[in-house]
Amino acid sequence: MSKVVFDIETIGIDFESLKEDEQDYILKYAEDEKKIKETKGKLGLWPFTGQIVALCLFNPETERGRTFFQAPEQKIKAFIEEGIEYETASEKEILEKFWEHIKNYQQFVTFNGRGFDCPYIMLRSAVLKIKPTKNLMPYRYDPANHVDLLDQLTFYGAFRKFSLDFYCKAFGLRNKKIEGMSGALIQEYFKDGKYLEIARYCSADVRATAELFERWHKYIKM
């Protein structure tokens, strides 16, 4: 069965660019300055106040993949690094390329894809008027089409959740995640023009997910 692992990185829009009624709606339950700051920091987590700035697809069988990423006002030529081809694109182009590639695979693998990546991709595609080529939210309790490792490693919520990095360390995997980098820094990195760093971080996350999938498939899947 052909498989592909994917992951996205997102950022939020400028809060001040929202209309007053939209700002009021977003901050509806923020009672104090701390909550207001926290809420503004979550704009990238919602597909109607954020956008996708990097997306990586990786074939664990061939160990090759492609990472599409935004790099406004920077001319970065496409290149290949450790089996992954990097290419700049607008958000709309990133999503169009994603749908074109994923239709060729029978099974896709994510880490918390059901809780974040998949609905985010589908809703951003709808906003940008891009038609999907595959159902990213199939029946939850059958991993035949979608293996969400966070579902599998918590046994569908029966056990506590850990981060991707924590799982990789616990299983002794060769996780090549970038030191000092985290999803919380994506907004800052994008603002500073560190687009390649974001793209490489996305790729590292996908490779880590692929390694975790192999461990799950060999020793936990029944």
Question: pLDDT tens digits for 68-124?
Answer: 999 998 999 999 999 999 999 999 999 999 999 999 999 999 999 999 999 999 999
- pLDDT of 29 > 70? The answer is yes
What are the residue boundaries of the structural domains of the chain, listed by start? 3-219
Give tens-digit pLDDT for 133-192.
999 999 999 999 999 999 999 999 999 999 999 999 999 987 666 566 677 789 999 999
What is the dotted CATH code of the domain comprising 3-219? 3.30.420.10
Rounded distance, CA 109 to CA 117, Å?
11
Say what the pTM is.
Answer: 0.94
Apex CA 164: angle with CA 119 and CA 80, to 5°? 80
H runs (alpha helix) in the chain: 20-26, 33-40, 91-102, 118-127, 149-153, 164-170, 186-191, 195-219
User: What percentage of the chain reaches a pLDDT higher than 70?
Assistant: 97
pLDDT at residue 99 in the model: 98
Q: How many CB atoms lie within 10 A of CB 78?
A: 10
Whole-angstrom distance, CA of residue 120 vs CA of residue 122: 6
